[in-house]
Amino acid sequence: MIREEFVPSIFRDPFIPDGEKSTYHVGITGQPGGMEVSQVVVHNRGGYHTTLEVGPAQRHRDGREPVMSIEQRIGRIDGRLHAETYRAQTFSGSTLVSREEANFVDTVHLQPGGLPEPYPANVMPIAAGLTLLRGLEFAEGLMETVDVWLAFSVHWPLLVRVEKQVVLTGPAGVFSCWQVRLRPGFEHVNGMLDKMVGSVVPPFLAHFEVSAPHRLVQLSFPTQMSMSAPRATMELVS
């Protein structure tokens, strides 16, 4: 159920086909991918239900590899998408290692040093970016702010800027893509803090297919909080 004062998000519905499956390989840029990410999107109660699995690209016979499974419910109202629920579990073989859950709708949460309040309209678990960011109003120069949920009541503002169209060639083929730059933004807190974070934390660089439903083709991201650190790439393979 959606609260009456529901505020529309910036994420449009890209009309993802029912049962769409995407597989990505993840590794240090320029090296073979050591991890595999797969996501299945199905239609559910007018919105989407996504299942994401992350694990080694090559599985060993002992069956003790770490595997993460993330299930998310993405709601839809008046053509706009919003995060509803998140549930992640990590296993070592068949042994549960950790579990976390979040409900973003019709709830309030404890703010560090503040009063309880609802999550913002544009709240987005990191894993939900595979779905929600496909709903951006792709146009050169577009800038938006998304609240990336990290854990518990912690969410950080993320500046999203659509830069330009590029052509990428990869294992899944040749794609015309929108290049989107993402970085933490703290201008609303303090301009000096925003500049300091921007000089230390490298940006993420995402490429979404120009053609609807704008599937993520490639994501480049830092492996450490350092501008000189190696970068990793998550690349669509099928």
pLDDT of residue 3: 47
Identify residue 28 by its one-letter amino acid code.
I
pLDDT of residue 1: 37
Q: Which residues pair with 40 in a beta bridge?
A: 21, 51
What does the alpha-carbon distance between residue 98 and residue 104 come to, in Å, rounded to a whole number? 20
Residue 218 in contact with residue 233, Cβ under 8 Å?
Answer: yes
Sign of CA dihedral 31, 200, 159, 101: positive
- pLDDT at residue 40 in the model: 98
CA proximity to 102, closest of 88, 90, 91: 88
Structure token pair of residue 157: 């503002």
How many Å from the N-terminal Cα to the C-terminal Cα in the chain?
Answer: 35
- Of the candidates 212, 170, 191, the residue with the CA atom closest to the CA atom of residue 15: 212
CA-based angle 162:231:40, to the nearest 5? 65
Distance CA 112, CA 103 (A): 18
Q: What is the pLDDT of residue 200?
A: 66
- Give the closest residue to 231 by CA, choosing from 35, 27, 32: 27
Q: How many angstroms separate the CA atoms of 185 and 71, rounded?
A: 27
The CA distance from 16 to 48, in Å, is 9
pLDDT along the chain (238 residues), means of 10: 66 98 93 90 97 89 83 96 97 93 92 84 96 98 95 90 97 97 72 61 93 98 80 95
Residue 172 tokens, joined: 């899944």
